[in-house]
């Protein structure tokens, strides 16, 4: 039997190194501006707002609010914990980094603060996710053939079949329907296939890859936030956190479509909103619609107490 001949100091130093863990808080802050779903970014739009968790913070949420407002000059409204990322190699260095992410919903207009603050459409990072104008060209012309080629590079027939099945389900190939909630699965598949820049780091690539890259795994965290929000708007009225105090039903519909990345049926959408009693008329109209004056509405906050599961369910897409 071998005995450890190192000194207690040396053993303690080794123990400290093996437990060298850094805890960060990362915020996915979302707003809808001019019909585009935007995420708040820093560092020339290559990172999400992030900062260390300090022991002096009363709670994770209070720590998040403190440094986000300090770093961006932007006040936070609605927030919820999103996910904890703790993969050993996620930060690309020897130190183990654990990131606790949060999803926050707010409004961009009227905010001021640090010049480092940048709002970016999340479709800059995930151009294949915006189906409001039909199947995106980047998906049909670039990703589909590259995913097919990647699938064919699998080892045996079973692996090749499995790869293509995963791609077809995630991206709606082979006449499958598009599921907007699979944002994270699609990004993870592109990462595995080396079709996003983050999945090629350390390897040479000759072709430009779609979507703006982000540091470390921030694009993966952003994809997680998008997927969560796309699911949540179907059963909770969180979309109203992104709306101004008063709005038209068309503005509300456009916000939902922006988040979901697909169009909804106008009449069915309005019928659902009315049936769920989510809004009430203000008695005023908007005249800057470019056409007939439109009624202005506001969110019925009483609905939160009346029905805990109220939401803005998405009607069937337009043909």
Q: Are residues 26 and 105 in the same domain?
A: yes
- The answer to the question of residue 9 being in a domain is no
Looking at the structure, tell me whether residues 80 and 31 fall in a common domain. Answer: yes
Residue 88 in any domain: the answer is yes
- Residue 177 is assigned to a structural domain of this protein: yes
Query: Are 144 and 186 within one domain?
Result: yes
- Judge whether 142 lies within some domain: yes
**Same domain for 117 and 37?**
yes
Which of 69-73, 77-81, 125-129 is modeled with the greatest confidence?
125-129
pLDDT digits (tens, 9 = 90+) for 105-149: 888 765 554 444 589 999 999 999 999 999 999 999 999 999 999
We report the CATH number of the domain holding residue 40 as: 3.90.79.10
**CB-based contact 84:96 (threshold 8 Å):** no
The model's pLDDT over 273-290, given as tens digits with 9 standing for 90+, comes to: 988 889 999 999 987 766
What 3-state DSSP class applies to 283?
A: strand
Let me know if residue 160 belongs to a domain: yes
Domains: count for the chain? 3
Same-domain status, 178 and 130: yes
pTM: 0.84
Beta carbons of 27 and 40 less than 8 angstroms apart: yes
109 and 158 in one domain? no
Contact 150, 195 (CB under 8 A): yes
Read off the CATH number of the domain in which 273 is found: 1.10.10.10
- Maximum separation of any 2 CA atoms in the chain, in Å: 88
The label of the residue with tokens 């000759």 reads: 206
Q: Which of 70, 95, 122 is the last residue of a domain?
A: 122
Structure tokens at 84: 């904890």
53-58, long-range: CB within 8 Å, 24+ apart, which pairs? 53/23, 53/24, 53/25, 53/100
User: Which pLDDT does position 22 carry in this prediction?
Assistant: 76
Q: Containing domain of residue 204, as a range?
A: 126-211
Tens digits of per-residue pLDDT, 102-113? 998 888 765 554
Asked if 105 and 133 sit in the same domain, the reply is no
Torsion of CA 65, 69, 75, 79, to 10 degrees: -30
Question: How many helices (H) and strands (E) in the chain?
Answer: 10, 8
């Amino acid at each position: 039997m071998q005995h450890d001949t190192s000194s207690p100091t040396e053993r303690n130093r080794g123990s400290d190194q093996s437990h060298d863990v850094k805890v960060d808080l990362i915020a996915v802050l979302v707003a809808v501006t001019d019909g585009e779903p935007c995420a708040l970014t820093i560092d020339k739009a290559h990172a999400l707002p992030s900062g260390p968790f300090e022991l002096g913070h009363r709670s994770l949420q209070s720590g998040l609010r403190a440094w986000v407002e300090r770093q961006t000059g932007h006040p936070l409204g609605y927030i919820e914990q999103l996910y904890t990322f703790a993969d050993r190699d996620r930060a690309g260095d020897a130190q183990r980094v654990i990131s606790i992410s949060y999803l926050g919903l707010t409004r961009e207009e009227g905010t001021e603060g640090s010049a480092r603050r940048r709002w970016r459409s999340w479709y800059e990072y995930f151009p294949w996710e915006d189906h409001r104008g039909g199947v995106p060209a980047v998906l049909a012309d670039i990703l589909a053939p590259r995913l097919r080629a990647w699938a064919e590079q699998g080892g045996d027939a079973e692996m090749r079949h499995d790869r293509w099945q995963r791609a077809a389900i995630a991206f709606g190939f082979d006449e499958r329907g598009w599921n907007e909630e699979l944002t994270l699965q699609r990004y993870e598949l592109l990462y595995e296939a080396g079709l996003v820049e983050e999945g090629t780091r350390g390897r040479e690539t000759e072709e430009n890859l779609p979507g703006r890259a982000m540091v470390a795994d921030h694009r993966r965290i952003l994809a997680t936030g998008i997927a969560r929000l796309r699911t949540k708007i179907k059963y909770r009225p969180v979309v109203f956190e992104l709306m101004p105090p008063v709005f038209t039903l068309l503005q509300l519909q456009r916000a939902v479509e922006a988040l979901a990345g697909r169009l909804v049926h106008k009449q069915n959408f309005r019928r659902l909103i009315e049936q769920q009693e989510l809004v009430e008329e203000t008695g005023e109209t908007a005249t800057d619609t470019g056409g007939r004056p439109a009624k202005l509405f506001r969110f019925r906050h009483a609905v939160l107490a009346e029905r805990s599961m109220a939401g803005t369910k998405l009607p069937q897409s337009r043909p």
